[in-house]
Amino acid sequence: MQTRRKVEDLRSQRWFASEDIRGFAHRQRLQQMGMRREEFLGKPVIAILNTWSDISPCHAHLRDRAEAVKRGVWQAGGFPIELPALSVGEVMVKPTTMLYRNFLAMEAEELLRSHPVDGCVLLGGCDKSTPGLLMGALSMNLPTLFCPAGPMSSGRWRGHVTGAGTHTKKYWTQLQTGEIDKDDWIDLESRMTRSHGTCNTMGTASTMTSIVDAMGLTKTGASSVPAADSAHPRLAAWCGARIVEMVFEDLKPSDFMSEASLRNGLAVYMALGGSTNAAIHLVAMARRAGLDLSLADMNSMAAQVPVLANLFPSGNYLMEDFWFAGGLPVLLDRLGDFIDRDAKTVEGRTLGAAIEGVACYDEDVIRSMDNPVVPLSKGRTLVLLKGNLAPDGAVMKTSAAELPKHRGPALVFDGPADMAARINDPNLDVSADTVLVLRGAGPVGGPGMPEWGNLPIPTKLLKQGVTDMVRICDGRMSGTHYGTCILHVAPEAAVGGPLALLRTGDMVVLDAEEGRLDMEVSEDDLATRRAAWVPPVSPYRRSFTALYQKHVSQAPDGCDFDFLEGTDVVPEPPIY
């Protein structure tokens, strides 16, 4: 039987219970905001870290959800405080939200440390907000409950299913080839994203929220609840009530972040056909929790677990269909021995107990192991590639690619401006066999590893009916996209990785089955090119970007900052 913590032992009481002049000031300032002593004294203080903003459509409802969380906290006898945190809304934030993931992680950790907080509910879900919030919370290690923003409602256009990201790309291609016209394109603008909430395809958002769900950091199945469903505010209120209990139970992330929960997360990642972005975030999160995780570990899980969730871009449905089919609990159940059912969750019970007796309501949406969406022989969620072009590794999602084996000449672009200027030049020497390469898009070079890895197929080739080409990039790709895209090439070009030495015309060889990515350039030639290579000069001399470029690690190491990794204890703030 677990011992229940006493209120007087809670962290917040260092602020509120003391009889000195500081204690007076803290109580006085809450009363300044209209709080009665009875409303906060002797209660656990729950921080609600809210990544709402006016320009993050995926989080547009989180102001309301924070109120629902508060409702739960009050009802359970806690004192809620809402703390705004960086709203890293994908799409609008340039050059990329990834540049700010670590910034959010730092903010989350420091908000929790510097305020009188005993436990927290994290409100987020759009791509980088999940790892960002959780990396900070894992480092702080207070009782933590993640409340995912939830996927947006399904879209339809003229009878056809439309999913965020995946179909934007599809219809953009159709616009280039003349299959749809400008008016259709404008019409689509208002129909593709029907409600608030995160992308409804299996992009980075649902990949990350589902993995975190499998790891036990939220109510089991919470990641599948649609943002616009009435179940969502009920989930938020549940989170508020539950976190108060977690504070008394002293149930912290370190109590359930384990090798087992990490493996559960990995199995789900692969069964979802999840985003390549997760390969970076998971390493960063694991290291914050003092766990070891490598690309090789993920590669080995991917080789065993086929894609079971029939969701775009690897499959044919949307997150709302997944929810109606039973959601993540069904997928967990389908994973059989790949799931450690004894792993604990924030609910204070095992994952096995949480999924006991679940039923699947649509066998086509959530498949079984003997009827996968993509059999392992046809493609995987993640393939680790190594070779003289990526000595430290590169990744690709073969379940959403057409060309797992290829040999062709490179066409190299140095950065997105170079690519934009030349890719659709009618005189460009390019054919379906060409390997399109974009470098200078890595963590240091981008900076922040923008999602530029899904290089557009030149319009003249689209018109010839070319549907996929081999593309190589040291940046990332949106999880909602598809194609033979080799991503996260490490080391990146900007720090002198071999990608920097590649020249247009060099032959590149991809063999996904063998896990190889090579350029056919002799050692001698490479040595000569290396001797002549001049590192790029960064235009960022001050501010966050300068700090970022100085401290960020490469993709296989999670792109965290060197000074944020690990589990060294940071002293509690002195209160004088």
347 binds ligand FES (CB under 6 A): no
User: Could you say which of 109, 127, 321, 474 contacts ligand FES (CB under 6 A)?
Assistant: 127
Helix (H) / strand (E) containing 46? strand 45-50
91 binds, among ligand FES, Mg ion, none (CB under 5 to 8 A by kind): ligand FES
Determine if 216 is a binding residue for ligand FES (CB under 6 A): no
* Cα 112 versus chain centre, distance: 22
Q: Would you tell me how many other CB atoms lie within 10 Å of the CB of residue 242?
A: 24
Among 13, 162, 198, 314, binds ligand FES (CB under 6 A): 198
Name the DSSP letter for residue 572.
P
Neighbours of 321 (CB within 10 A): 20
Rounded distance between C-alpha atoms, residue 476 and residue 167, angstroms: 19
CB of 100 to ligand FES, least distance (A): 14
229: contact with ligand FES by CB under 6 A? no
Q: How far is the CB of 478 from Mg ion (least distance, A)?
A: 4
Long-range residue pairs from 515-522, CB within 8 A, at least 24 positions apart, any chain = 515/299, 515/383, 515/384, 515/385, 515/386, 516/385, 516/386, 516/387, 517/385, 517/386, 517/387, 517/389, 517/390, 517/394, 517/472, 517/486, 517/489, 518/387, 518/388, 518/389, 519/388, 519/389, 519/410, 521/388
58 is a site residue for ligand FES (CB under 6 A)? yes
Nearer to ligand FES, 451 or 518 (CB): 451
Among 17, 35, 83, 91, binds ligand FES (CB under 6 A): 91
Does position 245 interact with Mg ion (CB under 5 A)? The reply is no
Position 90 contacts ligand FES (CB under 6 A): yes
State which of positions 151-170 bind ligand FES (CB under 6 A).
164
Residue 203 found at the interface with Mg ion (CB under 5 A): yes
Choice from 145, 199, 267, 441 touching ligand FES (CB under 6 A): 199
Applying the rule CB under 5 A, the residues between 473 and 502 that interact with Mg ion are: 478
Stretch that binds ligand FES, among 195-203, 212-220, 233-241, 276-284 (CB under 6 A): 195-203
Residue 451 in the binding site for ligand FES (CB under 6 A) = no
Closest-CA residue to 186 (of 198, 175, 197, 200): 175
Q: Which is nearer to ligand FES, 164 or 328 (CB)?
A: 164
- Contacted entry of Mg ion, ligand FES, none for residue 198, CB cut-off 5 to 8 Å set by kind: ligand FES
Comparing CA positions, the residue from 53, 255, 217 lying closest to residue 121 is 217
Q: In this structure, which amino acid lies at residue 533?
A: W
Going through 72-150 in order, the beta strands assigned E by DSSP cover 79-84, 119-124, 144-148
Bridge partners (DSSP) listed for residue 396: 383
- Residue 123 is a binding residue for ligand FES (CB under 6 A): no
Considering beta carbons, is residue 127 or 557 the nearer one to Mg ion?
127
Contact with ligand FES (CB under 6 A) among 60, 120, 126, 293: 126
Determine, following the binding rule CB under 6 A, whether residue 203 of this chain makes contact with ligand FES.
Answer: yes
Please identify, using beta-carbon distances, which residue of 91 and 161 lies nearer to ligand FES. 91
Q: Side chain identity at 561, as an amino acid letter?
A: F
| Choices 84-92, 104-112, 386-394, 413-421; region in contact with Mg ion by CB under 5 A | 84-92
Does 204 contact Mg ion by CB under 5 A? yes
What are the angstrom distances between the C-alpha of 351 and each of 297, 343, 344?
22, 6, 6
Contacts of 209 (CB under 8 A, 6+ apart): 125, 130, 146, 148, 149, 198, 218, 222, 223
Residue 191 CA to residue 307 CA, distance in Å, equals 28
* List of residues contacting Mg ion (CB under 5 A): 90, 127, 203-204, 478
Chain residues in the site for ligand FES (CB under 6 A): 58, 90-91, 126-127, 164, 198-199, 203, 205
